[in-house]
Amino acid sequence: MTGELVLLTGSTGFIGSAVLKKLLEAGYIVRLAVRSIAKAESYTKSKYPEASITFIEVPDITVDGAFDEAVKDVVYIEHVASPFTYKIEDPEKDLLIPAVKGTKGILYSALKYGDKVKRIVVTSSCAAVYDGHDYDLRNKSPPMSEADWNPVTWQEGLDGPTGVSYCASKTFAEKAVWEFVENEKPNFSVTVLNPPFVFGPMLQNVTKDNVNTSNAIIANLMATGVNSAPTMLFGMVDVRDLADAHVKSLTAPGVANQRIIVSGRLFTYGSLLECAKKTKEEGDAYCNGPDDSAVINKEAEECHGIDYSKSVKLLDMKYLPFKTTISETAKQLVSLGF
């Protein structure tokens, strides 16, 4: 039991809810900074009736000083909240500004009022690493690594398409982290995690109509049966592995002021579709059966498009197999009506 106080943002979402579970399992006391306490409580009360969770409402993360109260007395911060949606009206207002100002805001609040803060872990993305003009990992030689940066400009972020705007929001939010570290030289350290697509079981409140953006890729494939990118290779990580990386990063030696790609697997849309189909047709017999990742995800299993060795070395990551992640996600999606 650690008993130390952690501030977590984004707990009403897919990744944040998985991080919350791991934090509680590790024995932390958790303060959730949320836009709506009612929304957060709607699942935390039933899932964790006995847990040490408190809430603080931060209605707008773009307001100066939004996190000033939230950071007081906390020892660690997990900053996960950031918009990940393609349903937007204005890329600057809906994606770029909340991503960048939310990230800078929590760092500066910690600088001013977080006397006890030892480390802040920020969820960035491989969207800040990939060159969004060509992110098919078959073409990556040498493999993509932490040395790479998405060269997207703010203007490209404004001009879209939405996927580019999202990648720009993550790129500029992460650049703001490293500028902060360089300029302010804070007493605490910062660790940035860069996951690619994140899939896995959902703990947040979820219905057929509000599946989070990344799991919605699997849901849409299941609903339409259409494989729009038959052979392109993308990175993926199980949400439980990513949550594990978030909690380990709070205290792991060697991760201070490091950027770490957290991505153990690759996939094609074809392999997602096949795994989801088998889950739907065969149910538990398939989910609990042998791991056939090497067969249905063959091309991806044999490709080395992402160098994730830093996560193994510094965080001792052991990644779940493709089949475990996708079949367990698909099983939940079937229960939601897909």
Where does this chain bind ligand NDP (CB under 6 A)?
10, 12-16, 35-36, 39, 61, 80-84, 98, 102, 123, 125, 170, 195, 197-198, 212, 214
If you ran DSSP here, which 8-state letter would residue 75 be given?
Answer: S
| Minimum CB–partner distance for residue 185 and ligand NDP (Å) | 25
Of 236 and 286, nearer to ligand NDP (C-beta) is 236
Minimum gap (Å) between residue 122 Cβ and ligand NDP:
8
Tell the smallest beta-carbon distance from residue 77 to ligand NDP (Å).
14
Report the distance separating Cα 2 and Cα 31, nearest Å: 15
* CB closer to ligand NDP, 117 vs 236: 236
Of the pair 60, 291, the CB lying nearest ligand NDP is at 60
Least distance in Å: CB of 212 to ligand NDP?
Answer: 4
Residues 6+ apart with CB under 8 A from 269: 217, 221, 227, 228, 229, 230, 232
Chain position whose Cβ is nearest to ligand NDP: 13
- On whether the CB atoms of residues 20 and 27 are closer than 8 A, the answer is no
Output the smallest distance, CB 180 to ligand NDP, in A.
Answer: 17
Whether 263 contacts 237, CB under 8 Å: yes
Nearer to ligand NDP, 10 or 114 (CB): 10
Parallel/antiparallel/unpaired status of strands 119-123 and 76-79: parallel
Determine if the peptide bond prior to 83 is cis (ω within 30°): no
Residue 146: closest CA among 134, 168, 121, 129:
129
Which is closer to ligand NDP, CB of 35 or CB of 118? 35
Please, what is the minimum distance in Å from the beta carbon of residue 202 to ligand NDP? Answer: 8
Looking at the Cβ atoms of 21 and 170, the one nearer to ligand NDP is 170
CA distance 106 to 68: 8
Rounded CA-CA distance 268/177 in Å is 32
